[in-house]
Amino acid sequence: MSNNSDSKSKLWGGRFSEATDAFVQAFTASVEFDQRMYRQDIEGSRAHATMLCKVGVLNEDVRDAILRGLDQVQQEIESGKCIWSIEREDVHMNIEARLTELIGDAGKRLHTGRSRNDQVATDIRLYLREQIGLVINELRRLQSGLISLAEQEVDTIMPGFTHLQVAQPVTFGHHLMAWFEMLQRDASRLQDCRTRLNVLPLGSAALAGTSYPLDRQYTAKLLGFDDVCRNSLDAVSDRDFAIEFCAAGAMIMTHLSRFSEELVLWSSAQFNFINLPDRFCTGSSIMPQKKNPDVPELVRGKTGRVNGHLVSLLTLMKSQPLAYNKDNQEDKEPLFDTLDTLLGSLRAFADMVPAIQTKKENMYRAAKQGFATATDLADYLVRCGLPFRDAHEVVGKAVAFGVEQNRDLADMTLDELKQFCAKIEQDVFKVLTLEGSVAARNHIGGTAPAQVRQAIVEARKRMKA
Query: Mind telling me the catalytic residues?
Result: 163, 284
Binder among 70, 86, 120, 170 for ligand ARG (CB under 6 A)? 120
Closest distance to ligand ARG from the beta carbon of 226 (Å): 24
Stretch that binds ligand ARG, among 215-223, 247-255, 325-333, 386-394 (CB under 6 A): 325-333
Closest distance to ligand ARG from the beta carbon of 331 (Å): 7
Stretch that binds ligand ARG, among 39-47, 277-285, 321-329, 419-427 (CB under 6 A): 321-329
Q: How far apart are CA 34 and CA 37, in angstroms?
A: 6
Judged by beta carbon, residue 169 or residue 201, the one nearer ligand ARG is 201
Using CB under 6 A as the binding rule, the residues of this chain from 12 to 41 that contact ligand ARG are 30, 34
Q: H or E stretch including 141?
A: helix 116-152
| Main-chain phi, psi angles of 107, to 5 degrees | -60, -30
Judged by beta carbon, residue 106 or residue 242, the one nearer ligand ARG is 242
Binder among 210, 328, 375, 451 for ligand ARG (CB under 6 A)? 328
Q: How far apart are CA 41 and CA 94, in angstroms?
A: 11
Closest distance to ligand ARG from the beta carbon of 84 (Å): 13
Judged by beta carbon, residue 29 or residue 154, the one nearer ligand ARG is 29
Binding mask 177-216 for ligand ARG (x = CB under 6 A): ----------------------------------------
Closest distance to ligand ARG from the beta carbon of 34 (Å): 6
Closest distance to ligand ARG from the beta carbon of 13 (Å): 14
**Residue 360: CB atoms within 10 Å:** 14
Polymer length in residues for the chain:
465
Q: How far apart are CA 112 and CA 173, in angstroms?
A: 59
243: closest CA among 125, 308, 335, 330? 335
Burial tier of 385 (Cβ tally within 10 Å: 0-12, 13-18, 19+): exposed
Q: What is the 3-state secondary structure (H, E, C) of 414-456?
A: HHHHHCCCCCCCCCHHHHHCHHHHHHHCCCCCCCCHHHHHHHH
Task: For strands 227-228 and 199-200, give the pairing.
Answer: parallel
Is 10 among the residues that bind ligand ARG (CB under 6 A)? no
| Main-chain phi, psi angles of 449, to 5 degrees | -50, -40
Judged by beta carbon, residue 41 or residue 138, the one nearer ligand ARG is 41
Binder among 307, 329, 341, 437 for ligand ARG (CB under 6 A)? 329
Q: How many chain residues bind ligand ARG (CB under 6 A)? A: 10
Judged by beta carbon, residue 331 or residue 376, the one nearer ligand ARG is 331
Q: H or E stretch including 378?
A: helix 374-383
Binding mask 77-116 for ligand ARG (x = CB under 6 A): -------------x-------------------------x
DSSP string, 209-221: --SS---HHHHHH
Closest distance to ligand ARG from the beta carbon of 248 (Å): 22
**Is it true that the peptide bond before 410 is cis, omega within 30 degrees of 0?**
no
Torsion of the alpha carbons at 250, 254, 256 and 258, rounded to the nearest 10? 180
Judged by beta carbon, residue 33 or residue 429, the one nearer ligand ARG is 33
Closest distance to ligand ARG from the beta carbon of 87 (Å): 14
Beta bridge partners of 85: 2
Binding residues (CB under 6 A) for ligand ARG: these are 30, 34, 90, 116-117, 120, 324, 326, 328-329
